[in-house]
Amino acid sequence: MKKIGFIGTGVMGKAIVHNLLKNGFCVYIYNRTKSKTDELVKEGAIWQNSPQELVENNELIFTMVGFPSDVEDVYFGKQGIFKANVKGKILVDLTTSTPTLAQKIEQLAKEKGGMALDAPVSGGDLGAKKATLTIMVGGEQQAYDKVLPIFKVIGKSFNLHGTAGQGQHTKMANQIMIAGTMTGMTETLAYANKANLDLDQVIKTLSGGSAENWSLSNYGPRILKEDYTPGFFVKHFIKDLKIALDEAEKMSLSLPSTKQAYELYEKLSQEGFANDGTQALIKLWWQNGSSSTKKD
């Protein structure tokens, strides 16, 4: 039985660990809030008291936390990953973070005799549950080849895009695209609702034509059910868009549509919906997210 260490069992991490357990892996887990691991422990996962302890007991370690600051803490903190001996070990960060931080982690891992990959994912909670995630990887070919069998268990699309940090740059490109589809999808529903169209019928029709996209097919039906539970948190999407805009600025690149999406999600967060799913953007048009209560 193969051993894997996994740090971060939130919405996405929990689903990934569940799939690893289901596929016969022995998974050691750590999460900042221990109670969020209870269900996984019942399934057979092994609790560890710190990232340091987890690394000491495993050769392959995955991390999936919320923000770059969380990544910093997990890797460089008091009982963090780099407090353990990482020689001969592979560290894989699935968090969407900054390219600079990915490079910092890879450099220190290499200095200590280990390897590291930045491997942010796309596909939301459904992709994590169904093991259909898209995984965008940066790092050395040797490390990628060794981790590939695990990527095949948790995802359906995975590519090495270059050296450390390039996985994060690819994820930024992904989030720039998603920013457009999410704003387009919510404005589509707001318009169709204002025109008194049958929204379910509109989604079905548009999903069969050139306007078809993942956001409409997956989040449109949730919106109609007034289901705003997070497959992906608003607060995390804001973080991603801020990283994308910051990286674009470093390259003297203007992204006006992405900036507009960032500002809309910031407004949504300020109205109290930071912990909703990204489909909650419709609440800027519909009071409480209900199509029967339109905002003027």
The per-residue pLDDT for range 113-144, each reduced to its tens digit, is 999 999 999 998 899 999 999 999 999 999 99
Whether the pLDDT of residue 260 is over 60: the answer is yes
Q: How far apart are CA 83 and CA 79, in angstroms?
A: 6
Mean pLDDT of 152-176: 98
Among candidate residues 190, 143, 199, 165, the one with its CA nearest the CA of residue 289 = 190
Mean confidence (pLDDT) of the chain? 96
Task: Spell out the residues 6+ positions from residue 121 whose beta carbon is closer than 8 angstroms to its own.
Answer: 12, 94, 96, 127, 128, 133, 134, 135, 136, 155
With a pLDDT cut of 90, the percent of the chain lying above it is 95
Q: How far apart are CA 292 and CA 296, in angstroms?
A: 12
For tokens 């019942």, the residue is 42
Whether the pLDDT of residue 93 is over 70: the answer is yes
Q: How far apart are CA 139 and CA 201, in angstroms?
A: 45
Among 129, 171, 235, 283, the active-site one is 171
CATH number attached to the domain at 169-289: 1.10.1040.10
Domain ranges of the chain: 3-162, 169-289
Q: Quickly state the pLDDT bin for 296 (edges 50, 70, 90).
A: low
Active site residue 171: yes
CATH superfamily of 3-162: NAD(P)-binding Rossmann-like Domain (3.40.50.720)
Query: pTM here?
Result: 0.93
